Chains A and B, each alone.
Chain A
Amino acid sequence: MTKIDEVERHLFFEGIYLKYGYDFRQYAEASLDRRLAGLLGDYQASSLLDLLKRALREPEEFRKILGSLTINTSEFFRDPTFFKVLRESVFPVLKTYSKVTIWSAGCSTGEEVLSLAIALKEEGLDRRATIHATDINPFVLKSAKTGIFEASCIPTFNKNYAAAGGTGTPSQYYGAEYGLVRFNPDLLENVVFSEHNLATDAAFLEAHLILCRNVFIYFSRELQERALELFARSLVHKGFLALGSKETLRFSSLAPNFQAVSPGENVFSLLSRSEPKP
């Protein structure tokens, strides 16, 4: 792996931030450096300064670079037991509200949102729930909005659907078209997609449940802390926060503000806000 020069990394991300507003300055360094080294290879650039020059002059290239800096891997009902916990421990509480607001932060290409929408529907919560699905990367949002996926996702969908506590038949939610599958458009009826950057943007809603899964591992502790503060400000009292299965609050100063609902699946509820409502 090409070694990344600290000064060049710094200048690269300052430049990207000044020009495009994307702030990668506080991401977890070790894996980010690997992605940067990969980019240097792809572009046959001898240094990050050369790459920066291209990124600044050619917005189209920057879009591609942005795509390589973030990891967009996702899966339907990723960690099926997590969705089971949602249905068994979280949805019963959500049912006590007449309107439910859910935020999927870092939703990527939409698998998480559709999985959530299906679970809500089967629990009779679909009419009162609105899902705000956000991501830093406009490309993945565009793809998520279509509800169309490669047909190769179906075996995983079918398998995970059952393991996640699905009560219907998986195939009732999609139709196959030329090697692609289209999920029923009504599943996305109450979903609002928008760009939102957890590193720079402010709170914009009051949620009963926030999913931010498999995003924190790419952040430094400082950036995790910022995002957690944002979540604490965006949740109703006793609102739920769900992290990815390998993400923990253990090393955060905000840990005392949250209580584990299901420690194994990293679902927490907010005990106290870090700040009063704005």
Chain B
Amino acid sequence: MRRPRACFVGASAGGVTALQKLLLELDDDFRLPMIVVQHLHPSTNVTPSLIYRSRARLSFVEAEDKAPIEEGHVYFAPADYHLLVEKTFRFGLSSDRHVQHARPSIDVLFESAAIAYGADACGVVLTGANQDGAAGLRAIADEGGFAMVQDAADAEFPLMPSSALKAVPSARTGTIAEIAKELSRISRS
């Protein structure tokens, strides 16, 4: 397997806690760009750096339109916008209609990642009470990218990860701790 050049993470209900744990468990030398869609209420205005911590020296930022994607950063989709990646490895935002009842939608991010990064993308679907992310993870896997899904038993809300696993039966599954370990290994490889 090639070392993915970026990892894309989708989380919904229960996601903030799951992400806090995942980010805390990453090794201190983790550098891989991480791009996150966490479903939130459209009017929430969160400052990622106030919510998330990590042992690794990572910057937690909201993804900005046209910003280049860089190592050592964890990017979060702004509330009420779809977040996409372009073939130029920069971000794009859009107010196109909701997908899977969600904006930002995990499918939208992942499908753009599959097109832009091809086999160099890594997709991770965490806890959630809907089916967003399943089609997107399929798209990443179809391009030869690396797919991971949180163990349904480990997830606070299992519907989202189990739907993703149904769409991509070959995806690697694991607890948050195991996913963090795997991501750390990939980042080093």
Contact = CB atoms under 8 A, between A and B. Distances in A.
A26 interface: no
Contacts of A28: 84, 86, 92, 94
B185 interface: no
Nearest to B139: A1
B37 to A, nearest CB: 14
Given A28-B86, A30-B86, A251-B66, A214 B115 contact: no
B94 A218 contact: yes
Given A71-B96, A246-B81, A216 B65 contact: yes
A194 interface: no
B87 interface: yes
Contact of B112 (A30, A247, A251): A30
Contacts of B84: 28, 30-31, 34
B119 to A, nearest CB: 15
B115 A30 contact: yes
B36 interface: no
B95 A71 contact: yes
Nearest to A1: B111
Contact of B115 (A3, A35, A71, A216): A3
B186 interface: no
Interface string B105-118: 00110011001100
A31 B66 contact: no
Interface string A11-41: 0000000000000000011110111000000
A250 B64 CA distance: 10
**How many residues of A sit at the interface, in one of the four size bands?**
20 to 34
A272 interface: no
A248 interface: yes
Max chain B Cβ within 10 angstroms of own Cβ: one of A31, A224, A251: A31
B88 to A, nearest CB: 8
B87 A29 contact: yes
Given A246-B64, A247-B65, A251-B66, A33 B96 contact: no
A28 B139 CA distance: 20
A96 interface: no
A33 B82 CA distance: 14
B92 A31 contact: yes
A35 B84 CA distance: 13
B35 interface: no
A261 interface: no
Max chain B Cβ within 10 angstroms of own Cβ: one of A29, A30, A246: A30
Contacts of B46: none
Given A31-B96, A71-B96, A247-B65, 12 more contacts: A28-B84, A29-B86, A29-B92, A31-B92, A34-B111, A71-B95, A221-B66, A224-B66, A246-B81, A248-B64, A250-B67, A251-B66
Interface of B: 64-68, 78, 81-82, 84-88, 90, 92-96, 107-108, 111-112, 115-116, 135, 139
16 contacts: A1-B107, A1-B135, A28-B84, A29-B92, A30-B84, A30-B86, A30-B92, A30-B112, A34-B94, A34-B96, A34-B111, A34-B112, A217-B92, A217-B95, A246-B65, A247-B65
Top 3 nearest A-B pairs (CB, nearest first) are A30-B84, A31-B94, A30-B112
